A = this chain, B = another copy of it.
Amino acid sequence: MKNRRSFLQLSALGVAGAIAKPSFAMEPFEKSTEFPIGFAGYSFAKFDIDKMISMMQRLNVKNLSVKEIHLPLNSTKEAIEVAKKKFVDGGINVYTVGVVYMRSKEAVDQAFEYAKMVGVEMIVGVPNQDLLSYAEAKVKETNIRLAIHNHGPEDKLYPSPKDIYDRIKNFDSRVGLCIDIGHTLRAGVLPEKAVKDYRDRLFDLHVKDVTAMAKDAKVLEIGRGAINYPAFMEALDKINYKGMCSIEYEKDMSDPLVGMAESVGFVKGIMRG
């Protein structure tokens, strides 16, 4: 009996070992660093909602942060329902709205009302600094999270993730960051460091590439630039990031599909690699 039990225990260990160290052939597509990919709607600024959906379908990317260009902030309930049907029919998951700028209390009210009607649980937004407490109150009231977006060295409000984090770190835990890694690098901060430093408030990511760690760096296809993607992905893995990697592609904005595709491929590849 004891022998049999030992045998079973060893067998169980053997199975556990096989699960813990799967061969590539057995589990080719599972890896802890594969995060869901999305798009920041601004990438499609030059296209209407229908064209955006067809472009995302071709790129096989389903998650979208919808921008007011494609669904205005002052849309009626009916207009929002029409757009939502297009997204559902097109297989697109609208997981957040934004980037929404909020320069008055009315704009904060409108943003949360809009988010509620769109049916998302998060807003990627930029409230003026003196509206942060008001925005926090709206988060508490609606249970819609607010991910504040950094916009680089020339941004008067939030040039780098730290400028957001330091102001909201004692707020309700549903107020956090959407780190734009391109603007972060341009602000002289390594994205792989920023996601670690602000991990407890990291809700969303705008993923892109830029030519250098310099203010005047230019955007380009992901993988061609200065962002250290292996280190960045390693950091996301380490902090057990639970959000999306939403690509914001801002090069060739009138003809972006080719560069978007290279970027999507690169991000998928680096996650798989």
Chain A residues packing against B (C-beta within 8 Å): 24-25, 28, 31, 58-60, 190, 192, 221-224, 228-231, 233-234, 257-273
Contacts and interface: CB of A to CB of B under 8 A. Distances in A.
Contacts of A271: 269, 273
A31 B222 CA distance: 18
Contacts of A222: 265
Interface of A is mostly: helix
B269 A273 contact: yes
A25 B265 contact: no
A271 B273 CA distance: 7
B59 A262 contact: yes
Given A272-B229, A273-B271, A221 B265 contact: yes
Contact of A268 (B231, B259, B269): B269
Contact of A231 (B24, B60, B264): B24
B262 A229 contact: no
Contacts of A60: 221, 224
Given A258-B58, A259-B261, A265-B262, A25 B270 contact: no
B269 A223 contact: yes
19 contacts: A25-B228, A28-B231, A59-B262, A223-B268, A223-B272, A229-B272, A229-B273, A230-B272, A230-B273, A258-B258, A261-B265, A262-B262, A263-B265, A265-B266, A265-B268, A266-B266, A266-B272, A268-B269, A269-B272
